[in-house]
Structure 1
Amino acid sequence: MSIKYTDIFFDLDRTLWDFDRNSSETIQELFIELKIEEKTGTTFEPFFQKFIELNDALWKDFRQGEISKEALRASRFTETFFHFNSGDWKTARKMSALYLEICPYKTHLVEGAKEVLEYLVKKYKLHLITNGFKDSQRIKIQSSGLESYLSEIIISDETPYRKPMRAIFNYAMEKAGSEPERSIMIGDDIHKDILGAKKASMDQVYLNAKKKPLDKFRPTYEVNKLSELLELF
């Protein structure tokens, strides 16, 4: 690759910050502490997988303006309990509150993240564009040691925009003092990160860790793990 880029923009969850591992660790702790197996009749793994499924679906509803921040945070646990035929809403609400207190402080990063950031920060300005709520996202960034690598941190909750809106990418580039031809977006979500960046005329690197088949659209670059960026840049 010819070094035409000056600014690299990263997504946060599942790109740098290991959402699935941090979330799993938190919920496993709470599953034991709150005796969830007794209250739902299920073991941890099915409970966690249903939580992830519902959480992703509710985030989609939130991005489309169909539900509020508060509804998203509460419903992902009450709906998980409901799926396992439990109406113990008191425990579901307690689990939701404790999850929000604990999970953002977890520090597991996606494999290779620190090595890649250490390498790239010597050559490029690094920035972050993340959908999410400022209270939890700021804690994640600070607790996991990511903040020191980043010049600009754009959190959708602090702007009128969210990915995949073109406006949030334009806003991020303006804050960074960059232009589309000098900017590239790295993320794990083909719709929010990759198609969103393309709409803003940015090049993209799709982190396709699960090796999902692509439809007609092809990103500028595709990698299956972060360490491949060391060869790309």
Structure 2
Amino acid sequence: MDRKAVKAILFDLDNTLIETSRAGAVAIQKTSELLKTTLGLDNMTISSICDRFKQKLLHESFDPSAGRSIDEVRVDHWQESIQEAAAGSATPSLAAQCYYLWKNSRLEVLALSPEICNLLKELGSRYKLLLLTNGETQTQREKVEAVGCQEFFDAIVIGGEHAQQKPFVSIFTLCFSMLEVEAHHCVMVGDSLDTDIQGGFNAGVRATVWIHGAGDAAPEGSVRPDYTVPTVLDLPDVLAQLE
């Protein structure tokens, strides 16, 4: 048996298979319009509110054992952001409106393109495929459901459902076990050097593929991907080089 043969591919979800950043921008724009209509604030203040919300998301630490849902936590993000940027304007009902508009608008925009669906179908006929995504359980499950990608994968692993997420080796070991393959028969594909590429490197996969539309090299001092491509649609070219 060829020790170097690729048998399985692990895919990240956000900004690898789906354009989460673009969907987030659309959702923020719609929420900005709601704030402007409701509060009559100037554009600079509205921009400040939205930037504060995005920062709270970026640095979010969610503990499911604390007895609050992720929805409740993120409603609070909006209320705090409005209060900080426009003191006296925040109400729980407005914060909830902002959150659910942002959340639902983002989910509505998220989609697997026809080209990526075809790619996954073609790859699924030759390799085992697994979706490995970091993030809070409800949020990531809602994305998976919204884009309807379950049919393309042999297994789906949500980081928030486990003790450790990417780049820790333990979650990769779980994936290899689920697919009944060895690390050296797997390729890790994702847009994050810190989680996807570093995680694949830590776990000893056959190759790592960095999805990086900007086209520049990995920053000095960061983990080096084995391959860098602008879009996941270029993956077949990489796989051909590995065969």
Deviation at 1:220, TM superposition (A): 1.5
Inter-CA distance 154–208: structure 2 relative to 1 (3 Å threshold): same
CA distance in 2, matches of 1:182, 1:201: 10
Deviation at 1:49, TM superposition (A): 7.4
- 2:120 aligned with 1:104, yes or no? no
Name the structure 2 match of 1:225: 231
Residue by residue over 1:152-210, the C-alpha shift from the partner in whole angstroms, topping out at 9 and shown as x without a partner, is 10001222221121111111111111111111110000001110111111121111123
SS of the aligned residue for 1:89 comes to coil
Name the structure 1 match of 2:209: 205
- Under a length normalisation based on structure 1, what TM-score does the superposition of the two structures give? 0.80
Q: How does 1:139-218 map to 2 (within 5 A)?
A: 139-202=142-205, 203-214=207-218, 215-216=220-221, 217-218=223-224
SS of the aligned residue for 1:198 comes to helix
Residue 230 of structure 1 aligns to which amino acid in structure 2?
A: P
- 2:125 aligned with 1:119, yes or no? no
- Note the residue ranges of structure 1 that are not aligned, 5 or more in a row: none
Name the structure 2 match of 1:23: 24
- Under a length normalisation based on structure 2, what TM-score does the superposition of the two structures give? 0.77
Identity between Structure 1 and Structure 2 (%):
23
CA distance in 2, matches of 1:122, 1:171: 23
C-alpha root-mean-square deviation of aligned residues, in Å? 3.3
Q: How many residues align?
A: 227
Name the structure 2 match of 1:89: 90
Name the structure 2 match of 1:73: 74
Residue 77 of structure 1 aligns to which amino acid in structure 2?
A: W
Name the structure 2 match of 1:11: 12
Deviation at 1:212, TM superposition (A): 4.5
CA contact (8 A) 2:30 2:102 kept: no
Residue 231 of structure 2 aligns to which amino acid in structure 1?
A: K
Moved more, 14-23 or 115-124: 115-124
